[in-house]
């Protein structure tokens, strides 16, 4: 895969489990050496100049990295020491960052008393303490409720306006919609690149799903009659066609009694994924694994 990220944008790496997001994140954050090719951040090769790259990047991992037994201020002070900050400069920077993530009033409270959203904001404060040019976030809203997720993205919008480049991995379509540009990954390959609007426009019409007793036969006969590519996903015939509402009237009349249900929708990013790969974003097995993982986190 090959792509570039522009200064001052939110760039998303979107893909299901196993698509390569985590590997890419580990390479960009200097935790893994690429077996081939190269990755550059701010003109620096991540493999050849990892120490210089680490001064240019802030990293927020999917797994929590704060010390919950320390206060918010102590967490930031500790990370500041690792970056060589001391004295007045460190004090001022800690105070500034607590204010920016709306935790000034909880500066002296242990992080274990914080909500999930507050802990995530503290993670971001840690990642920004040394004034990086690029912020890397791996599935940043994992475990957050919808309100905390919305607040986090509003803060990311603020950071972008301040000129910080943000690279975020996600498997959530609604989060991908908020990125300026996206790289959609599948099984280690880049399958689509562009703004969410550009990518959805490539579908060129409505997405039509038809439920039928024999979807394979129906898809084949629709292709023969109309010359359209018709695929079968989850036992439904899937079509892309402009003027979907008018078209389905013709289909129902052409194949009377064969179609049980119809749905018509505007293209989504998942439709882009299907269009480029020929399969769904989530398999049923992946959905089950994801639901199981969420259930375990709750308990």
The string of pLDDT tens digits covering residues 131-151 is: 999 999 999 888 788 888 888
DSSP three-state, residue 187 = coil
- 264-290: average pLDDT: 77
Whole-structure pTM value: 0.83
d(CA 155, CA 151): 6
The DSSP bridge partners found for residue 44 are 41
- Residue 79 · residue 93 · CB < 8 Å: no
For the cut 60, the answer to whether the pLDDT of residue 270 exceeds it is yes
The string of pLDDT tens digits covering residues 60-92 is: 998 888 999 999 999 999 999 999 999 999 999
- 223-250: average pLDDT: 92
- 118-136: average pLDDT: 93
- 119-135: average pLDDT: 93
Q: Cβ contacts of residue 190 below 8 Å, gap of 6+?
A: 1, 2, 3, 183, 184
User: What percent of the chain clears pLDDT 70, i.e. is strictly above it?
Assistant: 94
The string of pLDDT tens digits covering residues 139-194 is: 988 878 888 888 889 889 999 999 999 999 999 999 999 999 999 999 999 999 99
Burial of residue 57 (number of CB atoms within 10 Å: 0-12, 13-18, 19+): buried
Under the phi-then-psi rule, with left for phi > 0, alpha for psi from -120 to 50, and beta for the rest, what region is 205?
Answer: left
Place of tokens 């204010």: 99
Domains of the chain: 10-195 (3.40.50.300), 204-266 (3.30.70.260)
Q: Cβ contacts of residue 41 below 8 Å, gap of 6+?
A: 28, 53, 56, 57, 134
User: What is the structure's pLDDT at 283?
Assistant: 57
The string of pLDDT tens digits covering residues 242-257 is: 999 999 999 999 999 9
């Amino acid at each position: 895969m090959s792509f570039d990220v522009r200064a001052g944008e939110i760039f998303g790496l979107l893909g299901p489990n196993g698509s390569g997001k985590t590997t890419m994140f580990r390479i960009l954050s200097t935790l893994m050496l690429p077996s081939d090719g190269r990755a550059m951040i701010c003109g620096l090769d991540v493999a050849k100049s990892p120490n210089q790259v680490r001064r240019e990047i802030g990293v927020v991992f999917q797994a929590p990295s704060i010390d919950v037994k320390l206060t918010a201020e102590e967490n930031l002070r500790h990370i500041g020491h690792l970056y060589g900050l001391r004295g007045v400069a460190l004090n001022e920077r800690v105070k500034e960052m607590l204010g920016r993530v709306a935790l000034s009033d909880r500066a002296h409270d242990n992080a274990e008393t914080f909500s999930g959203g507050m802990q995530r904001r503290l993670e971001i404060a840690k990642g920004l303490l040394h004034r990086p040019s690029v912020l890397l976030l791996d599935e940043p809203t994992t475990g957050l409720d919808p309100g905390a997720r919305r607040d986090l993205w509003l803060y990311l919008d603020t950071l972008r306006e301040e000129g910080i480049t943000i690279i975020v991995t996600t498997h959530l379509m609604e989060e991908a919609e908020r990125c300026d540009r996206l790289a959609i990954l599948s099984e280690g390959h880049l399958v689509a690149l562009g703004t969410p609007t550009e990518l959805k426009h490539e579908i060129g019409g409505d997405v039509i799903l038809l439920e039928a007793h024999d979807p394979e036969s129906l898809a084949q006969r629709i292709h023969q009659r109309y010359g359209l590519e018709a695929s079968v996903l989850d036992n439904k015939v899937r079509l892309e066609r402009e003027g979907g509402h008018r078209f389905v009237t013709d289909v129902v009349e052409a194949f009377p009694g064969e179609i049980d249900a119809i749905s018509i929708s505007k293209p989504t990013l998942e439709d882009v994924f299907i269009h480029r790969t020929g399969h769904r974003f989530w398999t049923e097995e992946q959905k089950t694994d994801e639901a199981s993982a969420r259930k375990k986190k709750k308990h």
